[in-house]
Chain A
Amino acid sequence: GAGVSQTPSNKVTEKGKYVELRCDPISGHTALYWYRQSLGQGPEFLIYFQGTGAADDSGLPNDRFFAVRPEGSVSTLKIQRTERGDSAVYLCASSPLGSRATGELFFGEGSRLTVL
């Protein structure tokens, strides 16, 4: 597609449940990022993929959070045993890499997660 696509756009779940959020980046973009945005705050970095591997997962808050990108395109953010504090908008961004890349990030519309 033309832009970064995220599904679902909204997810309501109960405390303790497992959740998967999907990101389909812009075709050809090697770099993929996950950010989390709480109400009234700027987005906070979670994890960065360069191709298939997670180059930096230092932003993941704890081991309940995990992300994969098995074929270097679509990525899935997985949250186990959800807690009410996980409620936020999860944003995905992609960026091309290479000597001519500007470093500009392109964001999707986000997945709003609500944990009851």
Chain B
Amino acid sequence: KQEVTQIPAALSVPEGENLVLNCSFTDSAIYNLQWFRQDPGKGLTSLLLIQSSQREQTSGRLNASLDKSSGRSTLYIAASQPGDSATYLCAVKGSSGAGSYQLTFGKGTKLSVIP
């Protein structure tokens, strides 16, 4: 059974710092990996999607990398802003069987960017 772990559970940084959020998964047979942002009391907003054949994806100040063989992904946020404060969730979709349509989520990293 796929398990996804996100470290750290919470992170507080001053505005302007670059930061890295970590995600690890136990089964490397994945179809893709998706990073989401969740604001308090809100749904999930998709940030970046990395297919299993890709190494990284970039969108603005965000860069996500994927090392499938080692079961790891990182989300890099450059020049953090108070508006980046949210919970960031990592999710993987399996490549076969039941996991081929289920997303397995980590518990998230709660980010606070201090002005």
Residues of chain A touching chain B, judged by Cβ–Cβ distance below 8 Å, are 4, 6, 31, 33, 35, 40-45, 48, 50, 55-56, 58-59, 91, 93, 102-110, 112
Contacts and interface: CB of A to CB of B under 8 A. Distances in A.
Contacts of B44: 43, 91, 93, 107
Question: Helix, strand, loop or mixed for chain B's interface?
Answer: strand
A104 B46 contact: yes
B61 interface: no
A102 B51 contact: yes
B36 A107 contact: yes
A35 B101 CA distance: 12
Interface of B: 4, 31-32, 34, 36, 41-46, 49, 51, 89, 91, 93, 98, 101-108
A56 B99 CA distance: 10
Contact of B89 (A42, A93, A110): A42
| In the A-B complex, the 7 residue pairs with the closest CB atoms | A42-B105, A109-B43, A107-B44, A45-B102, A107-B43, A104-B49, A110-B43
A48 to B, nearest CB: 5
A38 to B, nearest CB: 10
Contact of B101 (A40, A43, A56, A104): A56
A56 B49 CA distance: 23
B103 A41 contact: no
B32 A103 contact: yes
A43 B93 CA distance: 13
17 contacts: A33-B103, A35-B103, A43-B103, A43-B105, A44-B105, A45-B103, A56-B98, A56-B102, A59-B102, A93-B44, A103-B31, A103-B93, A104-B34, A105-B46, A108-B43, A109-B43, A112-B41
A103 B42 CA distance: 22
Contact of A42 (B4, B41, B45, B93): B4
A101 to B, nearest CB: 11
Given A102-B32, A105-B34, A107-B44, A42 B98 contact: no
A105 B41 CA distance: 19
Nearest to B103: A105
B38 to A, nearest CB: 9
Given A31-B101, A104-B49, A42 B91 contact: yes
